[in-house]
Each structure stands twice: as C-alpha cells, then as structure tokens.
Structure 1
C-alpha cells in the first residue's frame, strides 16, 4: 500500500534543488531577520506593509511602516535601486506582503518576503515593538 505522501512522486533531485534554491531567493524567515538584527548586519530595509494602526499595536523592531496599498515610486524615491527590501504583513493568512513584493519588484527593487509575518515572529518567541500603552492589546490583524 502506498502512503498519501508517496501517492504523488517526488520531483527529481535536480528539479527539487532548483525549486528550493529559488524559494530562498524570494523568502527569508523571522529567525534570519532577528539574527541579522542582533549581529548588526542590517543590509536590508525591513518594511511592515500593514496599516499604521496595526503597526502601532505591534511591529518587528527596526521595521518601517509603508502600507502596501500606498507603495509607489514617490515614497521609495530616497532608496537606491540596489536596496533590498524585506516585507512582512500579519502572517500566512494574509497576502499583503506578496502584494507589496509585486509592487517593489515592478519598481525594480530587490525584495524578499519574511515568511510568517507577525504571526511567525511571535511564534519564534521574539518581542514586538509596541506604540500603545497596553501590550496586551497587541493583535496580528492586518488591515492592509
């Protein structure tokens, strides 16, 4: 009897290598962002693409807030075309980071998504920066 896992054959190793290597050129994870921040290796701009209200309730330390729906050439004019942007949103249930990544790529900026977003950051046990008096009001709502 064949398991559900094997019911569809795995890709040949060469194709799997290409697929997974390509994914790494589009994605980074919360742990790598955190480790880079801790090491002072800040060769990227971290963008929280949620609403200003969601950003104020809690965001990744060091992130800038640029709501995805407002991203355009004018708001990015101060950044060189070689600036690597790392975008995140609420989490895997939200495609706001993907939409922002499309806009950045269309404007010819290198971009990666921080997979997991705020949800992933919290799952890793990392703290958020909060701009409201009560930390218990932190939510992962997007409103992007």
Structure 2
C-alpha cells in the first residue's frame, strides 16, 4: 500500500518510459535548445511568436517572427519549403497559444514543435528579449 500520491501509481517500466520520453521530443523543444541554435547560427527552423502584437512589440525572442494563429494560412506559409520546421511559443507555461498554433500548422501539414516555457522560460533562463518599433 502506498504512503503518498507519488507512490500511488507504479512507475512505467524502462522500455515504456524510454518510448514516452523520447517521443515527447518530436513535439517539443526548450528555450536552451532554441537559444543554442540561434547562437550557432544554424537554425533549420522558423520561430513563431504567437502572442498579441502588443506583447510581441514589448519584448520577443530575437529572430522570432510574429505570427498569430489566425494569420497562419497556406498562402502565408508558401514562402517556406514544405519541410520547414516551425517552432511556436507563447507567454509561458500558463498559456496554450503555442499548442493552438501548433494544431493550426499540423492541419496545414507543416512540421511543428512547441518551445516549452515560452517567454517566461526564456527570461527565466536569463536570455535577452528585443523590442519592436511601434
């Protein structure tokens, strides 16, 4: 009999856990990985900030493109090759905008990952934001 909520459900066996954790990386990345890609100058992806225009202007990740999910339509994405990976982010863990944008992109048959943590995670890591001119 378990003594607390952590022990109440038995942990998965190693093979199942490995599959679960490894497969999650097909759907998500994190602030450190995105920052390192920018630092190396070898992106291989397009970073979409999916927050409001005001939030984007007040501070966003340098190199991010502002693209709210309502503006994600095939004709706007045509300038990117079909295999282009998109990475979406929003305000942070309390926001599901990155997930909603990822759903739109997958419906357009585009590869996509979510950047965990969003702006909150980026700032928590000590990375800088840039501001847009109004």
Q: Which TM bucket (shorter chain)?
A: over 0.9
Q: Identify the residue that residue 138 of structure 1 maps to in structure 2.
A: none
d(CA) in 2 for partners of 1:132 and 1:75?
Answer: 22
Unmatched segments (≥5 aa) in structure 2: none
Structure showing the higher helix proportion among its residues: 2
Say whether 1:23 aligns with 2:24: yes
Say whether 1:100 aligns with 2:82: no
**1:53 Cα shift?**
1.3
Q: Identify the residue that residue 38 of structure 1 maps to in structure 2.
A: 39
**1:132 Cα shift?**
5.5
Q: Identify the residue that residue 88 of structure 1 maps to in structure 2.
A: 89
d(CA) in 2 for partners of 1:12 and 1:123?
Answer: 33
TM-score normalised by structure 1 residue count: 0.88
d(CA) in 2 for partners of 1:16 and 1:24?
Answer: 13
Q: How far does the alpha carbon of each residue in 1:97-119 deviate from its partner, in whole angstroms, 9 at most, with x for none?
A: 00100111111111000000000
After superposition, the CA RMSD in angstroms is: 1.4
**1:4 Cα shift?**
2.4
Q: Identify the residue that residue 54 of structure 2 maps to in structure 1.
A: 53
**1:2 Cα shift?**
2.8
Q: Stretches of 4+ moved more than 4 A in 1?
A: none
**1:17 Cα shift?**
0.8
TM-score normalised by structure 2 residue count: 0.94
Q: How far does the alpha carbon of each residue in 1:104-137 deviate from its partner, in whole angstroms, 9 at most, with x for none?
A: 111111100000000000010101011269xxxx
Q: Identify the residue that residue 67 of structure 1 maps to in structure 2.
A: 68
Q: Identify the residue that residue 142 of structure 1 maps to in structure 2.
A: none
